[in-house]
């Protein structure tokens, strides 16, 4: 594919400065970009590298005031513009249209137009696939599952019975949607399994990373709302609600019946206790263990989660603890009456 810098400016929604005749065939980071590549800078610290770049064109912030050795596209959001250009240069590879003869299609299943069903895919009875759905090899779709238009399911994903997947969803390799939640009741010295009769609902424009486990509700549903993005190795337990455009980073674990608001961020390895609420725009830091509800816009950090500012103060004190202990020991020794034992 070839794009002129004029076409790239249109894609980015930016303002072009420089030679309009330049044509590009790819995109790369500033350190490796060549004469036919476009790159971007959105951090002022890296603007000094502009003179050294061999890129054919640059996407830069609106307020950049220096000189560049190549055409420049100015935009308020260079990284977003670069991402849009990447999507054009390197589009998702479509699956092979049609149903592979090695796939198994259940009774009463409904397949939309221009679907791609790969080898060794299993589609359950009465399942419904929308238009342009792509199921990569090894996908397993349970009975009565509904999948919306333009959704892509990557290899070896399992979507169990009665789950609902929206439009333009991506589910990456190895994820399991609709497995039973972790529910057992004590029965003497053993445990008796609680039957999970609920479902999972995944709304439009959600992207789920590789090797996620999204459990079905005990009753009712586990619900990932529109625009949610999850990293690899995320676990969402039964009856969790994840609000619109929330991010769940790698190895996040969310216990049952948690409610998370819109635009929240749960950083890597955060652990969320059961039956709590996280407000809109809240942030839970990496490895934080959250055991109580937090409100809108709250920022919590630390393995034992606490308000972020308090956690920062605690971190500042920790490195002084050995010296403080020595001082306290010396004070106790001086104040101790003569002859008194420890």
What gap in Å lies between CA 85 and CA 40, rounded to an integer?
Answer: 11
Q: Is residue 329 part of a domain?
A: no
Tokens encoding 23: 């044509």
Q: Is residue 224 part of a domain?
A: yes
C-alpha separations of 322 from 60, 285, 317, 328, 330 in Å: 48, 27, 10, 10, 13
- The per-residue pLDDT for 334 is 87
CA angle 145, 146, 147 (to 5 degrees): 120
Domain that holds residue 113: 98-309
What gap in Å lies between CA 21 and CA 225, rounded to an integer?
Answer: 44
CATH of the domain at 129: 2.160.10.10
Could you give the number of structural domains in the chain?
2
The last residue of one of the domains, among 49, 66, 89, is 89
Are the C-beta atoms of 95 and 89 separated by less than 8 Å?
A: no
Annotated catalytic residues are 238
What gap in Å lies between CA 122 and CA 161, rounded to an integer?
Answer: 12
Tokens encoding 123: 């589609």
255, 138: one domain:
yes
- At 105-139, the pLDDT tens digits run 999 999 999 999 999 999 999 999 999 999 999 99
Which of 182, 249, 247, 173 minimizes the C-alpha distance to 211?
173
Are the C-beta atoms of 133 and 112 separated by less than 8 Å?
A: yes
CATH of the domain at 45: 3.40.1390.10
Q: Is residue 167 part of a domain?
A: yes
Residue 340: pLDDT band with limits 50, 70, 90 = low
143, 275: one domain:
yes
pTM of the full structure: 0.86
- At 194-226, the pLDDT tens digits run 999 999 999 999 999 999 999 999 999 999 999
Q: Is residue 316 part of a domain?
A: no
């Amino acid at each position: 594919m070839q794009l002129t810098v004029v076409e790239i400016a249109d894609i980015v929604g930016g303002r072009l400065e420089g030679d309009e005749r330049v044509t590009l065939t790819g995109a790369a980071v500033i350190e490796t970009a060549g004469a036919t590549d476009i790159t971007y800078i959105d951090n002022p610290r890296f603007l000094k590298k502009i003179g050294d770049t061999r890129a054919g064109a640059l996407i830069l912030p609106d307020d950049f005031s220096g000189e560049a050795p190549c055409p420049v596209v100015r935009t308020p959001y260079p990284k977003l513009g670069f991402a849009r250009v990447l999507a054009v240069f390197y589009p998702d590879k479509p699956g092979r249209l049609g149903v592979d003869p090695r796939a198994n299609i259940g009774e009463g299943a409904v397949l939309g137009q221009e679907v791609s069903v790969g080898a060794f895919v299993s589609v359950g009875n009465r399942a419904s696939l929308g238009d342009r759905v792509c199921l990569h090899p090894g996908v397993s779709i349970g009975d009565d599952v509904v999948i919306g238009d333009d959704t892509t399911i990557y290899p070896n994903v399992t979507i169990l019975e009665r789950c609902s997947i929206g439009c333009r969803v991506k589910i990456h390799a190895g994820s399991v949607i609709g497995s039973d939640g972790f529910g057992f009741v004590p029965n003497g010295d053993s445990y008796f399994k609680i039957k999970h009769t609920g479902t999972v609902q995944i709304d439009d424009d959600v992207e789920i990373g590789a090797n996620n486990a999204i459990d079905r509700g005990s009753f009712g549903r586990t619900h990932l709302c529109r625009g949610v993005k999850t990293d690899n190795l995320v676990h969402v337990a039964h009856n969790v609600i994840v609000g619109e455009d929330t991010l769940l980073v790698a190895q996040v674990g969310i216990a049952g019946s948690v409610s998370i608001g819109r635009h929240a961020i749960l950083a890597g390895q955060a652990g969320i206790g059961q039956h709590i609420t996280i407000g809109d725009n809240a942030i839970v830091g990496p490895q934080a263990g959250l055991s109580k509800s937090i409100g809108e816009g709250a920022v919590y950090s630390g393995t034992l989660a606490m308000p972020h500012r308090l956690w920062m103060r605690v971190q500042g004190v920790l490195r002084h603890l050995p010296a403080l202990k020595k001082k306290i020991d010396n004070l106790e020794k001086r104040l101790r009456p003569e002859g008194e034992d420890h």
